[in-house]
């Protein structure tokens, strides 16, 4: 394994990364289902660790999907803090409610 393996996904969007991570968890789950039931204690421990890892991956994907910002809220927030285009105001750079308070 080279040191550049982690940069192969640097060009992906967060949604694409979540999709890849969920697909990885799906493949792991299919492999675990196909495995024989463990017959000894080390096999049981390995199965429990593997199941816990798969659950954490799904949990991470779900949490990231819940926390992704709503595009409309991001645009509204950006519009609040950016100066209006063509205003020519090169002053203090205050926008939104702070600009109104100063006037």
Domain assignments of the chain as residue spans, ordered by start: 12-81+96-102
- 28 CB contacts (<8 Å, ≥6 apart)? 50, 53, 54, 57
Q: Which residue has the higher pLDDT, 64 or 41?
A: 41
- 80 CB contacts (<8 Å, ≥6 apart)? 95, 96
pLDDT exceeding 70 applies to what percent of the chain? 68
Give pLDDT tens digits for 88-100: 555 555 555 555 5
b/e string for 3-26 if b means 16 or more Cβ within 10 A? eeeeeeeeeeeeeeebeebbeebe
pLDDT band (50, 70, 90) for residue 6:
low
pTM comes to: 0.53
Say yes or no to pLDDT of 4 above 60: no
């Amino acid at each position: 394994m080279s040191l550049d393996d982690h940069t192969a996904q640097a060009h992906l969007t967060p949604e694409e990364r979540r999709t890849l991570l969920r697909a990885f968890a799906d493949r792991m789950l299919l492999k675990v289902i196909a495995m024989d039931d463990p017959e000894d204690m080390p096999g049981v421990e390995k199965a429990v660790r593997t199941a816990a890892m798969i659950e954490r991956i799904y949990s991470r994907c779900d949490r990231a999907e819940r926390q992704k910002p709503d595009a409309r809220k991001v645009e509204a927030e950006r519009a609040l803090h950016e100066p209006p285009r063509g205003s020519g105001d090169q002053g203090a750079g205050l926008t939104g409610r702070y600009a109104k308070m100063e006037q």
